[in-house]
Structure 1
Amino acid sequence: MKTAEKPTLNLGQTLEWLRKELAEMQVQDQRLLLTLRHLHSVLEELRAESAHWEDARSSGGASPIRARAGSEGRSRRPSSSRELAQLLGGVDSRRSSLP
């Protein structure tokens, strides 16, 4: 009994499909790199802020709560969270298709 199978793709079609998949993977890699860089900068900011709070607490200066309240005005703009959400939104956009 014969089964209904898709016709075999020729070499040109297969290579074209591979090029398309590689291009999509490159776009995904770039998005992931941007996300990683953004997260790294946010981590560095948090580390610096944490060190500042620890210094304030150990030196007996302003309380950590007051130090935090003063540093909130220097925080990132809300648009960076939006940008991060946009970047993360594209991470799972890669489809898994076969020729």
Structure 2
Amino acid sequence: MKTEEPTPNLGQTLEWLRKELAEMQIQDQKLLVTLTHLHSILEELRSESAHWEDAMSSRGASPIRARAGSEGQGHKPMSSRRLAQLLQGVDSRRSSLP
């Protein structure tokens, strides 16, 4: 015995697709804002790193030794905290069918 499932109305299907696309556009905009923010943080960290390496090389210290010394002092990288804060607000894409 064969039971036929009712096929969704084309208009309903198109409406569902429009709604899903609108939600995806909102998510894409949020992701773009997050990506832009992360990019600015990376640029800031690169600038700080270059400044730090210039300061260390002008003192005659090896940047590698200076890094090894500062890592042992228990300093946490600033970027990991910021990244965690940013990613807490990011929604993952959802997958649903009509």
> So what's the TM-score if we normalise by structure 1?
0.69
- Structure 1 counterpart of 2:89: 87
Unpaired stretches in structure 1, ≥5 consecutive residues: 69-74
Deviations 1:55-78 (A, max 9, x none): 01110179968xx9xxxxxx8xx8
Q: CA deviation at 1:3?
A: 3.5
Q: CA deviation at 1:10?
A: 1.0
SS at match of 1:52: helix
Q: CA deviation at 1:50?
A: 0.3
Tell me whether 1:96 sits opposite 2:95 in the alignment: yes
Q: Once superposed, which parts of structure 1, at least 4 consecutive aligned residues long, lie more than 3 Å away?
A: 61-65, 78-82
Distance of 1:8 and 1:21 partners within structure 2: 19
Q: CA deviation at 1:46?
A: 0.4
CA 1:43–1:80 in 2, change beyond 3 Å: closer, same or farther?
closer
Q: CA deviation at 1:16?
A: 0.5
- Structure 2 counterpart of 1:36: 35
Identical columns (%): 70
SS at match of 2:89: helix
Deviations 1:19-72 (A, max 9, x none): 10110110110011011001000000100000011101110179968xx9xxxx
SS at match of 1:96: coil
- Structure 2 counterpart of 1:14: 13
